[in-house]
Chains A and B, each alone.
Chain A
Amino acid sequence: MKSLGQIEPAEVSESAGMAIAALVEEYAGTLYRVAYSVLRNTADAEDAVQETYLRVLRHRDTLGEIRDPRVWLVRIVWNVVLDRKRRSKTRPETDDIADLARLLPASGQSAEERVASAQHHERVLRAVEKLPAKEQRVLILSAFEELSSVEIAQVLGTTESTIRSRLFRARKLLSGLLSTARGHAGGTR
């Protein structure tokens, strides 16, 4: 597929609709997963994706200036998602995490293994929730195989070294939180 950077501006303005349609086909899934990883709600994530493409539609005349549409789109959806999350700050998420942990694919074959796997996922997700916002965001975005550390830096509007240091701090904090959680779980048994 011809990338947007290779399309002439005049050509883009003429076929902006087709270009946006191609962007939807290619990146809607990625954007949805990015939105879902933060919002953890199917309808909200889909709304965020639609809002992202509506914003793209508003800037259709400048589509030719976009070098990397994937990172650009992820950045837009990320901002949309953060806006939405800020607005729905008071919504309780405890039940969402438990439901989400059940949705994730279990690693074991037996029922016991599946239950243990779901509990592990739940513990991890709760620990991630406790991380500071900046570290949490970097960790969530680093889980996407499509995004390199340079691209994560572009999405978050910072440098690659900052991303690396935040990622290191996030992993350290997460390990500490999970060890504490395991200790508590072992003590209660």
Chain B
Amino acid sequence: MNWDQDFDKTNEGTRHDAEETLRLLAALPSPEALTSRVHARLQATEAVPARRSFWSYWLPAQRFQFAGAAALALAVVGATWGVNHQHSPQGAANQTARPAAPAAITGGFGTAGTARVPPTLNPIKVPPSPHRKPGAGHTAAKQTPKPAVAPATVPTNP
């Protein structure tokens, strides 16, 4: 590129001077004992024990920890399912009785003429009366009038 070449020629001195400054900056020596300080910092960091969880003390291997966690989760799920399963029949019993289904709809107003009869209005069955004594039966006979017997009529021939 001509423009590029011209630019490079005209500004070459300036550019080299400027970049020389940056090169000097990049080449400044590092402080003494830098590496030893970095080593010391790394060793100090490594010396701090890593935080261990409660589980790691009695389940050191990670796979045991996973297995333990899975067993715990399974137990919780099983217990939850068991509780729900136990409660379900009672729950059904506690449910309020559903109203009886209406009569079969034959027309547009199938239930219009139906009368609801409350169950309390059903006829009460009376138990049969006990056997009575003969005396008691006489008095009763006196009181109750016998039906009148019609007198025998003799037919008369003319």
Contact = CB atoms under 8 A, between A and B. Distances in A.
B31 A54 contact: no
Interface stretch (A5-13, A86-94, A148-156, A174-182): A174-182
B35 A124 contact: no
B15 A174 contact: yes
B18 A174 contact: yes
User: Interface size class for chain A?
Assistant: 35 or more
Q: Which 7 pairs across A and B sit closest by C-beta, in order of nearness?
A: A143-B22, A175-B11, A32-B30, A124-B21, A143-B26, A29-B30, A124-B18
A186 B30 CA distance: 37
A110 to B, nearest CB: 19
A174 B21 CA distance: 12
Contacts of A175: 7, 11, 14-15, 18
Contact of A49 (B4, B18, B28, B34): B34
Interface of B: 4, 7, 11, 14-15, 17-19, 21-31, 34-35, 37-39, 41-42, 45-46
Contacts of B29: 29
Contacts of B35: 24-25, 28-29
B30 A178 contact: no
A66 interface: no
A127 B11 CA distance: 15
Chain A contact surface mostly? helix
A104 B24 CA distance: 6
A29 B34 contact: yes
Nearest to A51: B41
B22 A124 contact: yes
A189 B39 CA distance: 52
Contacts of A36: 25, 28, 30
Given A46-B37, A178-B18, A143 B25 contact: yes
Contacts of A57: 42, 45-46
Interface in A20-39: 20-21, 24-25, 28-29, 32-34, 36-37
25 contacts: A17-B46, A21-B39, A21-B42, A24-B38, A25-B35, A28-B38, A32-B31, A33-B28, A33-B30, A37-B25, A42-B31, A46-B31, A49-B34, A53-B38, A54-B41, A54-B42, A124-B22, A125-B21, A144-B26, A171-B11, A171-B19, A172-B7, A174-B14, A175-B15, A175-B18
A120 interface: yes
A124 B39 CA distance: 36
